[in-house]
């Protein structure tokens, strides 16, 4: 197994035959986990050729779990989330057409970590591209540990101990920090708009620290998801907006991003506690299809803003 570092971060794994169920024995699984901790994202090119191999590789990094967003899980296997873009298919609840920097885009998603609107933050995710887009459709990744280390020491001191309030804002254009000001919805989908209002009610506001520590290394991480971020807890609106704008601009600086152009059966596993990601989307007439597993986990640093709103018993799921 070869671990080849990528620029500006991450690593490509070469020389592991993931179709072979025995390939992860003999210390290979542990070596992959170690590489994941060191590099934040791991890329496997043309390496995952089946759902079985996808689930097998996922288990190296933890237990897969169905997404909380039930409607996007495969009916045949809820542990696989569908990432599907069909040209001008407005029947889907997720259908939305955007214009970003003058370009028309379907499937565009701004910078985020997964499920920032929940108190538990999942450990990671493993995306396999099955039918890549003929044009664009890239996924971007940024290392928030590197982003923290690039902050001026004065700013590092200023943000120590601060907390951020998150609330579900599925409508991309409602995100205010680190999102392009040129973003607009070209065509509204009433089904989607109604669903977003419902989801916002399903997930009460949560609070997460602005800085966390990577347990294995002691590295500090700028733990900000531009998507869903509302305000800094206990700060005036003006000060909170100014600080979140500054931090989100810093964090999402594309010069420090790795953008992956997908080919069939490429796979990337990301550390959701340390990295953020985005989707550049595709032109309206381009389709693509991928599947994703979600790796369970809870870093136990998140909480509900109002403890009385915390779901009782089993965690509430969308569409329940
Ligand atoms: Fe995501």
- Give the number of other Cβ atoms within 10 Å of residue 26's Cβ: 9
Q: Picking from 40-44, 199-203, 243-247, which range would have the lowest pLDDT averaged per residue?
A: 199-203
C-alpha span between 314 and 317 (Å, rounded): 9
User: Does any domain span residue 316?
Assistant: no
C-alpha span between 208 and 135 (Å, rounded): 36
% of the chain exceeding 70 in pLDDT: 96
User: Does any domain span residue 185?
Assistant: yes
User: Does any domain span residue 319?
Assistant: no
Q: Which two tokens stand for residue 232?
A: 């800094």
Average pLDDT (99-119) is: 93
Q: Picking from 102-106, 168-172, 280-284, which range would have the lowest pLDDT averaged per residue?
A: 168-172
pLDDT, tens only, 250-276: 999 999 999 999 999 999 999 999 999
Q: How far is the CA of 293 from the centre of ligand 1 (A)?
A: 11
Mean pLDDT of the chain: 92
C-alpha span between 49 and 46 (Å, rounded): 8
Q: Give the up-direction half-sphere exposure of residue 69: CA atoms within 13 A in the CB hemisphere.
A: 21
Q: How far is the CA of 26 from the centre of ligand 1 (A)?
A: 32
Q: How far is the CA of 270 from the centre of ligand 1 (A)?
A: 10
For 54, phi and psi rounded to 5 degrees? -60, -50
Query: What is the domain count for the chain?
Result: 1
CATH number at residue 190: 3.60.130.10
Who contacts 92 (Cβ-Cβ below 8 Å, separation ≥6)? 84, 86
Cα distance from N-terminal residue to C-terminal residue, the chain: 43
Average pLDDT (189-212) is: 88
C-alpha span between 191 and 182 (Å, rounded): 24
Residue 244 domain boundaries: 2-309
Who contacts 120 (Cβ-Cβ below 8 Å, separation ≥6)? 297, 298, 299, 302, 315
C-alpha span between 51 and 20 (Å, rounded): 13
Task: Give the pLDDT of residue 74.
Answer: 87
pLDDT, tens only, 116-157: 999 999 999 999 999 999 999 999 999 999 999 999 999 999
Q: How far is the CA of 127 from the centre of ligand 1 (A)?
A: 10
Dihedral sign for Cα 25, 30, 31, 37, please.
positive
pLDDT(175) > 50:
yes
User: Does any domain span residue 314?
Assistant: no
User: Does any domain span residue 95?
Assistant: yes
What pTM did the predictor assign?
A: 0.94
pLDDT(201) > 90:
no
169: closest CA among 246, 243, 223, 116? Answer: 116
Q: How far is the CA of 177 from the centre of ligand 1 (A)?
A: 17
Q: How far is the CA of 116 from the centre of ligand 1 (A)?
A: 10
pLDDT, tens only, 25-38: 989 999 999 999 99
3-state secondary structure the chain: CEEEECCCCCEEEECCCCCCHHHHCCCHHHHHHHHHHHHCEEEECCCCCCHHHHHHHHHHHCCEECCCCHHHECCCCCCCEEEEECCCCCCCCCCCEEEECCEEEECCEEEECCCCCCCCCCCEEEEEEEECCCCCCCEEEEEHHHHHHHCCHHHHHHHCCCEEEECCCCCHHHCCCCCCCCCEEEECCHHHHHHHHHHHHHCCCEEEECEEECCCCCCEEECCCCCCEEEECCCCHHHHHHHHHHHHHHHCCHHHEEEECCCCCCEEEEECCCEEEEECCECCCCCEEEEEEEECCCCCCCEECCHHHCCCCCCCCCCC
Q: How far is the CA of 45 from the centre of ligand 1 (A)?
A: 20
User: Does any domain span residue 318?
Assistant: no
Q: How far is the CA of 222 from the centre of ligand 1 (A)?
A: 17
Task: Give the pLDDT of residue 312.
Answer: 65
Angle at 158 between CA 157 and CA 164, to 5 degrees: 120
């Amino acid at each position: 197994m070869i671990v080849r570092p990528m620029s500006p971060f991450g690593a490509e794994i070469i020389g592991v035959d993931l179709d072979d169920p025995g390939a992860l024995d003999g210390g290979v699984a542990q070596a992959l986990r170690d590489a994941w901790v060191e590099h934040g994202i791991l890329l496997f090119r043309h390496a995952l050729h089946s759902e079985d191999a996808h689930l097998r590789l996922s288990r190296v990094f933890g237990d897969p779990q169905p997404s909380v967003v039930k409607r996007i899980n495969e009916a045949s296997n809820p542990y696989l989330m569908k990432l599907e873009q069909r040209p001008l298919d407005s029947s889907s609840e997720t259908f939305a057409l955007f214009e970003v920097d003058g370009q028309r885009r379907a499937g565009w998603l701004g910078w985020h970590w997964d499920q920032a609107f929940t108190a538990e933050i999942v450990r990671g995710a493993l995306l396999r591209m099955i039918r890549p887009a003929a044009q664009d459709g890239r996924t971007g990744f940024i290392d928030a540990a590197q982003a923290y280390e690039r902050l001026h020491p004065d700013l590092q001191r200023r943000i120590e101990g601060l907390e951020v309030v998150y609330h579900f804002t599925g409508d991309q254009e409602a995100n205010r920090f680190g999102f392009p000001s040129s973003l607009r919805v070209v065509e509204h989908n009433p089904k989607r708009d109604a669903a977003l209002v419902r989801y916002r009610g399903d997930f009460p506001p949560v609070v997460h620290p602005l800085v966390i520590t990577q347990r294995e290394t002691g590295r500090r991480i700028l733990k900000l998801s531009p998507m869903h971020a509302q305000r800094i807890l206990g700060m005036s609106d003006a000060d909170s907006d100014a600080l979140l704008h500054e931090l989100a601009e810093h964090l999402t600086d594309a010069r420090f991003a790795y953008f992956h152009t997908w080919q069939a059966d490429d796979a990337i596993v990301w550390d959701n506690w340390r990295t953020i990601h985005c989707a550049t989307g595709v032109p309206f007439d381009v389709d693509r299809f991928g599947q994703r597993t979600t790796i369970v986990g809870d870093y136990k640093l998140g909480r509900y803003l109002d403890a009385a709103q915390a779901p009782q018993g089993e965690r509430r799921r969308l569409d329940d």
